[in-house]
Structure formats: C-alpha cells, structure tokens
C-alpha cells in the first residue's frame, strides 16, 4: 500500500486522479482503519488531515459552514451548532463513543454514505449542501442528490468533500434526531429519524415540517408525502398518528442482522410520531391536542 499526506486540496486531487479507484481517502480513520484490518488494504491511502483549514465551524451569510475534518465531538460541543442546528447537535451526541467522536469527522461520516450514518438525515432535513472539490473546479451538491447508494456519493473516486454548507433554519424552528438501537449511541442505528418543524408566526400551525429517515433505504431518505400532509396544519394526535403510518410506507427497509424490515417500519412509525410530538411542543409551547 502506498501512503500519502497531501498538504493542499490540489495535491490531494492530483493523487485521486492518478490512483483512481485504487485510492482511499482517510480522515479520522474510525471506519477506514477497520476496513484495512478486516477487509482489504487500498492500493493508495490518502491521509487528508495535513491539509490546513479543512476543520472548523463558521457562520457566513445565513449559513453555518462546517469543514470536512471537523470532528463529531467539535460539532457536539459547539454552542453555535446547538443553538442554530439542534437536529444536527442531537445526532452528533448520539454518535458512538466519546473516543470515536473525538476522532471521527463529519466528512468521513458523509463520504461513507452509509444509510445509517448519524449526521446524514439531519443534513437532509436541513437541506444542506456538500462543497466538493474536483480537479476542474468546485461545486455545491445538495445532499438530496449527493447520496447515491450505500457507500456511493456524488464525490465519486476523484472528488473531495471540503465543507458542508448548512442554511440556518428560521428562528423558532425546532429539530430532533431519534435513534433506535440496542446499545444506545454505541450501536449502528436500526432506524434513525430526524424531524424539523417550523411554526407559523402565531405558533398555531406547522408552517414547514421536514422528516428524514435513516437506515431504512439504500440512502438516507426524506418523507415527502408525510411532510406534505402536515404542512400548514396544527398537529393533533389524530394527524400525528396518520403521519406516522404514512412515513412507514415511505421507508423502504431491508431485513438484516440488526432488524427485520417489518420491525423497521414499526419503528419509523413510532419515531416519526415521537419526533412530531416533541418538535411541536418545543416550537409552539403547546401539547398535542
């Protein structure tokens, strides 16, 4: 295995162009090191941690920009993220162990493109964009189209994720990330559900509702039919029940060692209901009628 520590984005892109599918980018290493030990070594390992200015959280023009090398712990402990992007904060605090959060990067979690990746459904509901560098220039790709399948993303073999651009939701918007797993944060999620709710000015209706479903499809998913059902309405117990059942039909889970597909649909239903109840109460100050 060849090994490289590029010092610039340009150098990293040249290495990826040269080595193509043989190359593997490594950042924190909490996934890639396991692959190296238990699956196979790549032909060339490209460690991007020596590239300056790829880590950090900054507010810029109504967005938060999070560098690809920012650790999950740095996101979890950022007062800015907790205040402006509670749905992402909530996911990062349920992300494996402290040791892993101290090492794992958001860029790695994204580029791994696992349907169960903790940060992915929050990024979908936040309608965030991946900032990708290619040898012929930079482009911004919405996460809606970034994720293409398990382990497959718009970064491909030759692109490098440099930053995540996250529009800050309107003030008053609330978000939660709910994870179902046997061993809490330590486990890979059987199901993860991200819910974001923005109330109208009078806090009487849900002006906007966004629902993200994790580990129940080849990519993290949105639940557009469920969102449309709820938009502009006051959330009642009956409506939330209907929304949970509809969200379960929008998931396309598989059966694997962690859960059956049927069980996953039940959990989607339960977590969607719970997420709607919690965000409605947080956003409007009212219990669900």
Partner 1 sequence: MSVKINTTINGQAVSASAEASTSLLEFLRDTLEMKGSKLCCNTGECGACTVIYNGKPINSCVTMAADANGAQITTIEGLADGDKLHPVQQAFIDTGAVQCGYCTPGYIMSVKALLDRTKKPTQADIEEAVSGNICRCTGYNKIVDAIHLAAAKL
Task: Give the one residue of 17, 20, 33, 224 binding partner 1; rule: CB under 8 A.
Answer: 33
111 near partner 1, rule: CB under 8 A: no
205 near partner 1, rule: CB under 8 A: no
Work out how close the CB of 47 gets to partner 1 at its nearest, in angstroms, rounded to a whole number.
7
Task: Give the one residue of 53, 58, 102, 249 binding partner 1; rule: CB under 8 A.
Answer: 102
- Total number of residues binding partner 1 (CB under 8 A)? 27
Q: What is the DSSP string of 109-153?
A: HHHHT-TT-TTHHHHHHTT-EEEEEETTEEEEEEHHHHEEETTEE
Q: At what angle do helices 237-250 and 261-284 cross, to 10 degrees?
A: 140
Could you give the C-alpha distances from 120 to 83, 111, 113, 143, 182, in angstroms and in order? 19, 10, 8, 8, 20
Work out how close the CB of 225 gets to partner 1 at its nearest, in angstroms, rounded to a whole number.
37
CB nearer to partner 1: pick between 29 and 142: 29
77 near partner 1, rule: CB under 8 A: no
CB nearer to partner 1: pick between 2 and 262: 2
Query: In the range 255-274, which residues lie near partner 1 by CB under 8 A?
Result: none
Work out how close the CB of 84 gets to partner 1 at its nearest, in angstroms, rounded to a whole number.
23
CB nearer to partner 1: pick between 49 and 281: 49
Task: Give the one residue of 11, 14, 49, 205 binding partner 1; rule: CB under 8 A.
Answer: 49
116 near partner 1, rule: CB under 8 A: no
82 near partner 1, rule: CB under 8 A: no
Q: What is the DSSP string of the chain?
A: -EEE--SSHHHHHHHHHHHGGGEEEESS-TTHHHHHHHS---SEEEEGGGSTT---EEEETTEEEEETT-BHHHHHT-HHHHHH-HHHHHHHTTSS-HHHHHH-BHHHHHHHT-TT-TTHHHHHHTT-EEEEEETTEEEEEEHHHHEEETTEETTTTT-EEEEEEEEPPPTT-EEEEEEE-TTGGGSPPSEEEEEEEEE-TTSSSEEEEEEEEESSSSS-EE-HHHHHHHTTS---HHHHHHHHHHHHHH------SS--HHHHHHHHHHHHHHHHHHHHHHHHS----
52 near partner 1, rule: CB under 8 A: no
Identify which range of 24-32, 201-209, 255-263, 266-274 contacts partner 1 by CB under 8 A. 24-32
Task: Give the one residue of 45, 130, 195, 211 binding partner 1; rule: CB under 8 A.
Answer: 45
142 near partner 1, rule: CB under 8 A: no
Task: Give the one residue of 80, 96, 229, 270 binding partner 1; rule: CB under 8 A.
Answer: 96
Identify which range of 31-39, 140-148, 200-208, 244-252 contacts partner 1 by CB under 8 A. 31-39
Task: Give the one residue of 17, 22, 34, 56 binding partner 1; rule: CB under 8 A.
Answer: 34
* Cβ within 8 Å of residue 188, ≥6 positions away: 116, 181, 215, 258
Query: In the range 160-199, which residues lie near partner 1 by CB under 8 A?
Result: 184-186
Contacts to partner 1 by CB under 8 A: 1-3, 5, 26, 29-30, 33-34, 36-38, 41, 45, 47, 49, 73, 96-100, 102-103, 184-186
């Amino acid at each position: 295995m060849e090994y490289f520590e590029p010092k610039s984005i340009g150098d990293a892109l040249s290495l990826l162009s040269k080595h193509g599918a043989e190359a593997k980018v490594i950042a924190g290493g909490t996934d890639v090191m396991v692959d190296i030990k238990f699956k196979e070594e790549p032909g060339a390992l490209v460690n991007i941690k020596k590239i300056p200015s790829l880590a950090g959280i900054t507010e810029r023009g109504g967005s938060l920009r999070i560098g690809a090398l920012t650790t999950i712990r740095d996101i979890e402990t950022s007062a800015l993220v907790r205040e402006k992007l509670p749905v992402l904060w909530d996911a990062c605090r349920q992300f494996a162990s402290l040791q892993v959060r101290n090492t794992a990067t958001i860029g790695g979690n994204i580029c791994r493109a696992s349907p169960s990746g903790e940060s992915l459904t929050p990024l979908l509901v936040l309608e965030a964009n991946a900032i990708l560098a290619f040898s012929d220039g930079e482009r911004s790709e919405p996460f809606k189209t970034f994720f293409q399948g398990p382990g497959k993303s718009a970064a491909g073999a030759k692109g490098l994720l440099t930053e995540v651009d996250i529009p800050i939701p309107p003030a008053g918007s609330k978000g939660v990330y709910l994870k179902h797993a046997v061993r809490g944060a330590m486990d890979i999620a059987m199901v993860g559900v991200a819910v974001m709710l923005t109330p109208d000015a009078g806090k009487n209706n849900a002006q906007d509702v966004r629902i993200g479903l994790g580990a129940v499809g080849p990519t993290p998913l949105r639940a557009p039919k469920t969102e449309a059902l709820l938009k502009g309405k006051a959330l009642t117990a009956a409506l939330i029940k209907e929304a949970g059942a509809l969200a379960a039909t929008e998931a396309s889970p598989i059966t694997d060692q962690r859960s059956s597909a049927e069980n996953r649909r039940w959990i989607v239903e339960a977590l969607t209901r719970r997420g709607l109840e919690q965000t409605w109460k947080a956003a409007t100050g009212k219990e669900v009628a």
